[in-house]
Structure 1
Amino acid sequence: MRSISKTYKSLLWVALSTFICSSCEDYLNREDTSGFITNDQIWENSKAIDAVLVNLYDGGLRLDEFDDWYTDKANHLNPTSLSDEAQGSYQKDPAFSNANTVYTYGDYLFEDKFSDRYVHIRRANEFLLNLQSTDVVDDEAKKAYNAEVRFVRAMEYFGLIKRYGGVPLLKEPQEFNPGDFSALQIPRNTEKECYDFLIEECKEISEFLPDSRPGEVKYRATKGAALALLSRAALYAGSIAKYGTVQIDGLVGIPDDQAIHYFTESYHASKAIFDLNYQLYDVNPDKAQNFYDLFSKAVNGNNGEYIFQKQYSLSGGKAHSWDKMSAPFSYRGGGWGCGMAPTLEMVEEFEYIDGSEGKLVLLEADGVTPKRYDDLFDLFEGKDPRLFGSVYVPGSPLKGTKVEWQRGIVGKDGKRYQAFNQPDKDNTVTVDGKAYTASGKDGGADVGDASKTSFYQRKFFDETQTNMDMNKSETPWVVFRLGEIYLNLAEACVEIGGKEQEALDAVNAIRDRAGIKPLDAISLDKVRHERKVELAFEKHRFWDMKRWRIAHLDVANGGLTNFRGTALYPWYNVSDGKYTFTTGNPPKQLRSFLQRNYYVRLNNTDISTNPKLIQNPDYEN
C-alpha cells in the first residue's frame, strides 16, 4: 500500500503539479468545480489517474492500525486493550480507572460512520465509471485498475460489514438531483448479501491482479491480497452463520445452513494463497528474535510473509506514533508511553516449548511456599519464544538494559513494602534499617502511567528508534500475512469437518516456526488458542471474540464480561537477593459486554438523513 510512502507521495505531487492545481480530490469530492482541474483533464493523463488512485488508498482504507484509537490517543482504547489481551496503562480513562464501577462496552465503539465511509465508496465508484471511457490507458491496464479499485472498495465494505452487519451496497455512482434526496436514500442489504458481494468481488478481481508487484508499486493490491480478504471475510461469515442469530429480516445475522458454504469458501481461498510466492518468515535461529523481527522496522515488511501491508515514511510526511505511545516507562523519553499492558492471562496463553500449558510457576511443589528466582527473567524460562517476541516481561533485555517492573520489597520478617508512586517519583522505603527503592524503573505501583500488569507490548516496537516522539515511527502495519492464512485454513477445516489432518498440519507449521512442540491432535479450541497466541496484538482478537459470539460470556467461560485482567507482581527479597512473585488485580473496571454490542449502533446522523435505514437490534433510533 504505497499510498503512504515517499515514492507515492512524490508521484501524487508530480501529477498535481502537472495540472497546477491544489488536489485531485477536488474532482472526486465535487467540492470545488471552479478550479483548474476538470474531469476531462484527470482522465486524459495516466499520471493523474495514478494520483487519484493513490488518494483512494490513502483515504479509503480503515485498517485498525497503529493510530486507530477510539476517541483519543490518551484513552488507550483500541481493539487490543478492549479485548482480553491487554489493558490500557494510563489510569485516567473511564475503562481503566474507577475500579469499583463497571465499564459497559459502548454503543458506538469503533464505529465507522456511513457519512464518512460512503464518501470513499463513492470515490471508488466514480473512478470505476470514468475508467470505462478514458482512452489514455489500454484495455489490459483498465482491467488492472478496475480490479485494484474494487479491492479498495471491498476493503471499505468489509470494515463496515464487520461493524454493522448488512449495509447499503452501492456498486455504481449515485446521481444527485437538486432538491430530491430520495433517490440517494437506499435501504440496507442483508448481511448475507454483503458477504456474498465481498466474496464474489474478491474472486473476480483476484484474476486480474498480479501475483506480485515490483519496485515502487510493490505495496499495492495483489492477487494474494484479494484472496486474503476473501479468506478472512468468508471465515467471518461462516462464524456468524454458525454462532450468530438472524434478526431484523437478515439485516444482521446469516442463516445457519450457510455456515459450511462460507467456511468452504475461506478454505479454498486460503489454499490458493499457498500456491503463491509467500513463506513463513524463519531466518533467525533465535526463535524469539525471529518472531520479533517479522514485525520490526529493521525488516520493514520485506519478510516474504506479509501479503498486504501499510507502509510509513517520515520523510514523506506519513509516520505514526506507536513507539512513543507504547514504550516501557523508562524508555519513553518523558510524556506519553506505556500504552498497552498485556495481562497475565495473555502471557499464560503462551505454552512452554515442550507443549505443556503456560501457567507460570510461582509456588513450590507444596502449593504454598513462594518459589524463589535469582533473576526476574528466570520465571519465564522455557516459554514459547513468541512470548518474548511479543511481550516485554520483567527482566526482558531492551536497548542495553533490562525492563524492570517491581511491586516492592520483602523484609527479612516477610513484611512487604509496596511501591506507591510512578517510577520517576519517590518510592523510597526503609526495610530492616536500610533504604530501598520499592519500584522498578518501569513500574510497580497502581498509580501513574506505567503498566499496571508488569508487562509491555514488544510486537511492532521499534527498538532502533532514537527520536522517541509523536509521529516519528515508520514500522509497517501488517494487514494480511501468511501466518493468519494458515490459521484461517485450520479453523475452516475443523468447522467443515473431515479435514482434521489438514488443520493439524497447518497449526503445526505455525508451531514449528515458533519453535515449540507440535500438536498430536487438533480441535476447535486448539485452533482458537493458536490464533490468540500467534496473532496477539495484531487487532484480531476483539473481532474474533465477536464473530464467535463469546464476548458476552462471563470471563470464567472465555468472555469479556467481568474481565478485569490480572497482574504479575515481582518482589525483591532482602534476605537472599532473590525474587518471589504474587498476582493481583490492578484497579481497573470490570467489563460488561452486552448482546447488542456484537453490532455497532448506526449513528443518529446517518439514520436521520436516510429514513430507509433500520437501526441495529436493541438500539433505539
Structure 2
Amino acid sequence: MKQISKIYKGFLLLALCTAGLSSCKDYLDREDTSGFITNDQIWKNSKAIDAVLVNLYDGGLRLDEFDDWYTGKENNLNPTALSDEAQGSYQKDPAFSNANTVYTYGDYLFEDKFSDRYVHIRRANEFLLNLENTDAVNDEQKQAYNAEVRFVRAMEYFSSVKRYGGVPLLVEPQEFNPSDFTVLQVPRNTEQECYDFIINECKAIADFLPVTRSGSEQYRATKGAALALLSRAALYAGSIAKYGSVQINGLVGIPSSEATHYFTESYNASKEIFALNVYHLYDENADKAQNFYDLFSKAVNGNNGEYIFQKQYSLSGGKAHSWDKMNAPFSYRGGGWGCGMAPTLEMVEEFEYTDGTDGKLKLFEDDGVTPIRYDDPYELFDGKDPRLFGSVYVPGSPLKDSKVEWLRGIIGADGTRYQAYNQPDKDNSVMVDGKKYSASGKDGGADIGDASKTGFYERKFFDETQTNMDMGKSETPWVVFRLGEIYLNLAEACMEIGGKDGEALDAVNAIRERAGIKLLNEISLEKVRHERRVELAFEKQRYWDMKRWHIAHLDVKQGGLTNFRGTALYPWYNVSDGKYTFTTGVPPKQLRSFLEKNYYIRLNNTDISTNPKLIQNPGYEN
C-alpha cells in the first residue's frame, strides 16, 4: 500500500486548530521537532492519529458553507444565489448582469472533481487500514475512530452523489503500481448503490459514536450526526426515485419502486434522533424574530441545543471565513465587497403573516390601484412571520445604531418620480419642489453599482457584533445538521409514505410554534415544502431540494428556475406628506434557464481522460 504522504509537524498543528474540532494544546509530545513525521511515527502515537483524523474533517467535508463560491467569491455564485431565494448583487457579476441575455446553468456548476474528492476518500481508506494494525490505541478507541472516519467518508460520498449521481465506491486503499495504472481505473457504481452505501454506513456506525461530546471534541461526529446524514440522504434517494428517471443503466436515477423504502429509512432515522432526547428547538428569547436570528448567530455560537453537527471557525487558529464582509448591507460593509446575497421579493413573500394568511405584501388599497401610504418602510412588514426578520434585512430594519435604508427614489407633489441613479456612496441628489433630496438610501436603490438590486439583504448568519469588517475575520459557525431540518425531513417522509398525516402535521406545527406563527389545521406535501423553504432559507438547501424534487427545470410560473429573474421591492418617499409608497420591479438581472441535464453535473474531462471506465452523465456526451 502506498504510504500516507509525509506530514510536517506544523501541518498537524494546523489540523488540530481547524474548524473548532479540537484543542491546539498538547497535540503531539515528541522529542524530535525537526523534519518529517513518517507514517510509522504517526501510527505509534495516539495524539498524532487524532491530528490526522481532524485533518480528515477539515479537508474531506464538502459542506456548501460560507466561503464555498463557484468560480470565486467575486461572482456571487453559490446555492443561495442560484436557487429562487436570492440573486447576486454585484453589478459585474457574469451570471446576473446583462439583463437582455439568458443565464443557462453551467455544466460544471458546483462540481467537485473526482481528482480532488478521491484524495480525501483515499486518505480515509488508508486511515481505516492503518487503524486496524496500530497498537497505539485500544480496541474501544479503534471502534470509535473507525466509526468517525466512516462518517466523514460517508459525508464525502453524499457530497459527490448529490452532484453526479453514481460515483465509484472505493472502500479500501488501492495498490499503486507505476507500471500498471489500469488497476486504479474503476467504473462508477449506480446512484442507488451509492445511496445504499451511505445509508448502510450510517446504520453501522451510529451505535459506536457517542450520543454527546464535550470539551475539545464537542464538534466531532456523534450518533445524532450519523442519523442526521441518514435522514437527509435517504430523503434525497426517495425523492430521486419518485421524481427522477433511471438513465445509463442506473448510473443516474433510482427505480421508482424504491421510493417508499427510502422515505421509510429517512422517517426511521429522524425518529431515532428524537428518541435520543439530546436536542431541542432553540427557543430562549420571547422576541421570536430575535430568537430565530440568535439561533444562527456568533453570539450563541452554535451552543443552542438545536445544532446536531456544525463547522466551527477560529480567527486565532487561522480558520475564519468572510461571510460578513461579503454580505454586509452596503453602508455597513466597511468599504468594498459586501451586499452579496440579495433575497428576492418572491422569497420575502413566502413568509406568511403570523395569522397564517398568505405572505403577499399589502402595497395597495382594496381597489388594487391606490398605493397604501406608510409612515415608515418597516411598517409594510407588520405582522409578518418573525422568521422573516431573523433571516432578511428589509427596508427599515434596525441594524447596529442605525437602520437599513433602501430607497428607490422620491415622488414630488405633482407625482413626478425621481429615481436613484448611482451607487449609494455616490451622488444621488435631486431637486424636488425646490428642495434637495437624496433619491437613494444609504444601502441602495439604483440599478447600478454593487448594492442590493431587490431592496433586501440576508440577515441569517450575519454577525452584528463584528467591528472589523474584513475578509477572513468571521467566526460564526456553519450549521450542517440541526433539529429544525429533522422535523421537516420527518414531515416530508410522512407525506411521501402516506397514512402519516398526523405526524407530519405535528412536526410542521412544532416548527411553526417555535417561530411564533399560527398553527396549521391540515397538512399537505405542498405545505411541508413551503415550511421547509421558509425555515431553511439561505442554509443552502433550497437549490438541492429543487433538484431532488425535479422542479428546477420547470418554468417559474410552475415553481421552477427557468425564466426566473427575481423581483424587487421599490420604496418611494413622497414629499407631499412624508410617507412611503411601494412599487415592484424587475432588477437588471438575466433570466435563467435550467436544463434537464443540469440535474447532474458534467464529469470533468480530466477525470474521464485518466479513467476511461467512467461514463459521462446524460446530456454531456459531446
Question: TM-score, normalization: structure 1?
Answer: 0.97
Report what 2:323 is aligned to: 322
Report what 1:394 is aligned to: 395
Q: Do the aligned partners of residues 380 and 600 (structure 1) sit closer, same or farther apart at CA in structure 2, a change above 3 Å counting?
A: same
Tell me if the contact between 1:412 and 1:575 (Cα under 8 Å) persists in the aligned partners.
yes
How far apart are the structure 2 equivalents of 1:544 and 1:7?
29
Tell me if the contact between 2:209 and 2:222 (Cα under 8 Å) persists in the aligned partners.
yes
**Residue 485 (str. 1) matches residue 486 (str. 2):** yes
Report what 1:45 is aligned to: 45
Report what 1:100 is aligned to: 100
Q: Do the aligned partners of residues 585 and 213 (structure 1) sit closer, same or farther apart at CA in structure 2, a change above 3 Å counting?
A: same
How far apart are the structure 2 equivalents of 1:515 and 1:94?
40
* Shift of residue 19, structure 1, vs aligned partner: 5.2
| Equivalent AA in structure 1 for residue 419 of structure 2 | Q
Unaligned runs of 5+ in 1: 22-34
How far apart are the structure 2 equivalents of 1:38 and 1:254?
44
| Equivalent AA in structure 2 for residue 490 of structure 1 | A
**Residue 298 (str. 1) matches residue 311 (str. 2):** no
Report what 1:411 is aligned to: 412
| Equivalent AA in structure 1 for residue 437 of structure 2 | Y
How far apart are the structure 1 equivalents of 2:418 and 2:427?
14
How far apart are the structure 2 equivalents of 1:2 and 1:504?
43
| Equivalent AA in structure 2 for residue 367 of structure 1 | G
Report what 1:433 is aligned to: 434
What is the DSSP-based 3-state SS (H/G/I as helix, E as strand, rest coil) of the residue aligned with 1:478? strand
What is the DSSP-based 3-state SS (H/G/I as helix, E as strand, rest coil) of the residue aligned with 2:140? helix
* Shift of residue 433, structure 1, vs aligned partner: 1.4
How far apart are the structure 1 equivalents of 2:18 and 2:326?
21
| Equivalent AA in structure 2 for residue 226 of structure 1 | A
Alignment of 1:23-38 (within 5 A): 36-38=36-38
How far apart are the structure 1 equivalents of 2:76 and 2:564?
17
Deviations 1:228-269 (A, max 9, x none): 000000000000000000000000000000000000000000
How far apart are the structure 2 equivalents of 1:600 and 1:66?
21
Report what 1:54 is aligned to: 54
Report what 2:145 is aligned to: 145
What is the DSSP-based 3-state SS (H/G/I as helix, E as strand, rest coil) of the residue aligned with 2:22? helix
**Residue 8 (str. 1) matches residue 22 (str. 2):** yes
Tell me if the contact between 2:189 and 2:251 (Cα under 8 Å) persists in the aligned partners.
yes
Tell me if the contact between 2:418 and 2:430 (Cα under 8 Å) persists in the aligned partners.
yes
Alignment of 1:230-269 (within 5 A): 230-269=230-269
How far apart are the structure 2 equivalents of 1:263 and 1:211?
24
| Equivalent AA in structure 1 for residue 366 of structure 2 | A
Tell me if the contact between 2:21 and 2:219 (Cα under 8 Å) persists in the aligned partners.
no
How far apart are the structure 2 equivalents of 1:94 and 1:422?
19
How far apart are the structure 2 equivalents of 1:599 and 1:185?
22
Percent identity, aligned pairs only, is 82
How far apart are the structure 2 equivalents of 1:285 and 1:18?
55
Report what 1:83 is aligned to: 83
| Equivalent AA in structure 2 for residue 14 of structure 1 | Y
Tell me if the contact between 2:20 and 2:219 (Cα under 8 Å) persists in the aligned partners.
no
Deviations 1:555-599 (A, max 9, x none): 000000000000000000000000000000000000000000000
Tell me if the contact between 1:2 and 1:311 (Cα under 8 Å) persists in the aligned partners.
no
Report what 1:421 is aligned to: 422
How far apart are the structure 2 equivalents of 1:459 and 1:480?
16
What is the DSSP-based 3-state SS (H/G/I as helix, E as strand, rest coil) of the residue aligned with 1:87? strand
Alignment of 1:343-358 (within 5 A): 343-358=344-359
Q: Do the aligned partners of residues 37 and 332 (structure 1) sit closer, same or farther apart at CA in structure 2, a change above 3 Å counting?
A: same
How far apart are the structure 2 equivalents of 1:118 and 1:194?
15
Report what 1:313 is aligned to: 314
| Equivalent AA in structure 2 for residue 15 of structure 1 | L
How far apart are the structure 1 equivalents of 2:350 and 2:269?
29
How far apart are the structure 1 equivalents of 2:467 and 2:74?
22
* Shift of residue 551, structure 1, vs aligned partner: 0.1
How far apart are the structure 2 equivalents of 1:462 and 1:115?
35
Alignment of 1:187-586 (within 5 A): 187-276=187-276, 277-586=278-587
* Shift of residue 91, structure 1, vs aligned partner: 1.2
How far apart are the structure 1 equivalents of 2:492 and 2:36?
53
Deviations 1:407-448 (A, max 9, x none): 000000111000000000000011111111000000000000
Q: Do the aligned partners of residues 7 and 114 (structure 1) sit closer, same or farther apart at CA in structure 2, a change above 3 Å counting?
A: closer
What is the DSSP-based 3-state SS (H/G/I as helix, E as strand, rest coil) of the residue aligned with 1:15? coil
How far apart are the structure 1 equivalents of 2:18 and 2:290?
28
Tell me if the contact between 1:330 and 1:442 (Cα under 8 Å) persists in the aligned partners.
yes
Report what 1:25 is aligned to: none
Q: Do the aligned partners of residues 307 and 517 (structure 1) sit closer, same or farther apart at CA in structure 2, a change above 3 Å counting?
A: same
How far apart are the structure 2 equivalents of 1:278 and 1:9?
24
Q: Do the aligned partners of residues 3 and 272 (structure 1) sit closer, same or farther apart at CA in structure 2, a change above 3 Å counting?
A: farther
How far apart are the structure 2 equivalents of 1:379 and 1:329?
22
How far apart are the structure 2 equivalents of 1:136 and 1:494?
49
Question: TM-score, normalization: structure 2?
Answer: 0.96
Deviations 1:444-499 (A, max 9, x none): 00000100000000000000000000000000000000000000000000000000
| Equivalent AA in structure 2 for residue 381 of structure 1 | D
Report what 2:4 is aligned to: none
Tell me if the contact between 1:16 and 1:51 (Cα under 8 Å) persists in the aligned partners.
no
How far apart are the structure 1 equivalents of 2:72 and 2:288?
36
| Equivalent AA in structure 2 for residue 144 of structure 1 | A
How far apart are the structure 2 equivalents of 1:18 and 1:252?
52
* Shift of residue 207, structure 1, vs aligned partner: 1.1
Alignment of 1:131-170 (within 5 A): 131-170=131-170
How far apart are the structure 1 equivalents of 2:509 and 2:31?
54
Number of aligned pairs? Answer: 607
How far apart are the structure 1 equivalents of 2:468 and 2:214?
31
How far apart are the structure 2 equivalents of 1:594 and 1:324?
33
How far apart are the structure 2 equivalents of 1:490 and 1:598?
24
Report what 1:24 is aligned to: none
How far apart are the structure 1 equivalents of 2:580 and 2:18?
47
Deviations 1:167-199 (A, max 9, x none): 000000000111100100000000000000000
**Residue 20 (str. 1) matches residue 33 (str. 2):** yes
Tell me if the contact between 1:5 and 1:313 (Cα under 8 Å) persists in the aligned partners.
yes
* Shift of residue 3, structure 1, vs aligned partner: 6.0
Tell me if the contact between 2:282 and 2:306 (Cα under 8 Å) persists in the aligned partners.
yes
Unaligned runs of 5+ in 2: 1-14
Report what 1:74 is aligned to: 74
Tell me if the contact between 2:16 and 2:27 (Cα under 8 Å) persists in the aligned partners.
no
Q: Do the aligned partners of residues 374 and 210 (structure 1) sit closer, same or farther apart at CA in structure 2, a change above 3 Å counting?
A: same
How far apart are the structure 2 equivalents of 1:153 and 1:527?
31
| Equivalent AA in structure 2 for residue 410 of structure 1 | I
What is the DSSP-based 3-state SS (H/G/I as helix, E as strand, rest coil) of the residue aligned with 1:103? strand
Q: Do the aligned partners of residues 549 and 513 (structure 1) sit closer, same or farther apart at CA in structure 2, a change above 3 Å counting?
A: same
Report what 2:3 is aligned to: none
How far apart are the structure 1 equivalents of 2:336 and 2:510?
42
| Equivalent AA in structure 2 for residue 54 of structure 1 | V
How far apart are the structure 2 equivalents of 1:177 and 1:86?
49
* Shift of residue 8, structure 1, vs aligned partner: 3.0
Deviations 1:72-113 (A, max 9, x none): 111100000000000000011121100000000000000000
Deviations 1:259-316 (A, max 9, x none): 0000000000000000120000000000000000000000000000000000000001
Report what 2:9 is aligned to: none
What is the DSSP-based 3-state SS (H/G/I as helix, E as strand, rest coil) of the residue aligned with 1:536? coil
What is the DSSP-based 3-state SS (H/G/I as helix, E as strand, rest coil) of the residue aligned with 1:389? helix
* Shift of residue 2, structure 1, vs aligned partner: 7.6
* Shift of residue 20, structure 1, vs aligned partner: 2.6
* Shift of residue 6, structure 1, vs aligned partner: 5.9
